[in-house]
Amino acid sequence: MPNPDDSVPGAAAPDDGATVWLLRSRGCWQAAAALLEPAAAHSAEAALERAELLIERALFENRGWGEAESALRLAEAGARVDTTRAAAACARGYLAYCATLLQVHDRLDEAQMALGRASAMLPPDAPGRPLLDFRRGLVAENLLKDPAAARTTYRRAHAGAEQQRDDLLLSYTWRHLASIAQQDGNLAGARHGFAESLRLRELVGFAIGIAPALAALAEVSPSPEAVLLRAQAARLVRTFGDVPVWLAEERDPDGLRPDQRADQRDGQAPGRA
């Protein structure tokens, strides 16, 4: 997703870019998307940013899928160069991934094909490569159940995010590398990764993403620290009107507590995700 502070022809002015980020970070995706709507009509970059906002909203709220699809089609139609086409394909793969993850529709094949298309269009050192690698890792970890492949792509994404100094993306790569460490029984590594993810989300002010980070850290923390972390997460979820929805639900369909599933469903975000 383009940096909200980047100035692109026909897109939001720098002040509007800061406002878009502020709205997004507080879970006001529709308001942020509305701010970008005029520019999205004639700017591929603004159209893509708007689509990414609405995809993130669909993941966190489990609604608005049709709006996200319409916004993405507009972005795809306006893409004229390979880098923009690749970014749109990356967003397409992510939307399909999110819909599959939340059991809205089974779109695994579409997710894989779209992300593969994006990969074919991007050179290895392209700015969009770390986000693409991260999203391919999500598919590997959560849909294909292949933690080894996920770890490899997450590490590539992590290295790229470090090079680009993208702290929000780093919050996601830390989180999912920690999730795999947890699966491997490496609780110390998992605690470190989840703690780094939380620290970075607090640092960049991604307020809507803090509750999932707290819940994930609670899973590998001893009591009474875990109890405190879950209570903090619950308060934030209530503050944001029961968003993210997977933490607001009393139980998931498989009968597990929300905090037990948080590591599987966040952003698998991002905002970036």
The predicted-structure confidence for 192-215, as pLDDT tens digits, reads as follows: 999 999 999 999 999 999 999 999
The pLDDT value given to residue 16: 74
Confidence class for position 259, pLDDT limits 50, 70, 90: very low
- Around Cβ 130, how many Cβ atoms within 10 Å? 23
Q: How high is the pLDDT of residue 108?
A: 97
Q: Assess whether pLDDT exceeds 60 at residue 78.
A: yes
pTM of the complete model? 0.86
Residue 43: left (phi > 0), alpha (psi -120 to 50), or beta?
A: beta
What's the token pair of residue 76?
């795809």
Interval 221-243: pLDDT, tens: 999 999 999 999 999 999 999 99
CB within 8 Å of 227: residues ≥ 6 apart: 218
Residue 111's H or E segment, with its range, is helix 108-121
- pLDDT above 90 for 3: no
Q: What is the mean pLDDT of residues 98-124?
A: 97
Helix, strand, or coil here: 222?
A: coil
Across residues 66-91, what is the average pLDDT? 96
DSSP 3-35: -TT---TTS--HHHHHHHHHHHHTT-HHHHHHH
pLDDT higher for 36 or 9? 36
| Percentage above 90 pLDDT, the chain | 84
Q: How does residue 17 score in pLDDT terms, banded at 50, 70 and 90? A: confident
**Nearest residue to 130 (alpha-carbon basis) of 162, 104, 157:** 157
Q: Are 87 and 97 in contact (CB under 8 A)?
A: no
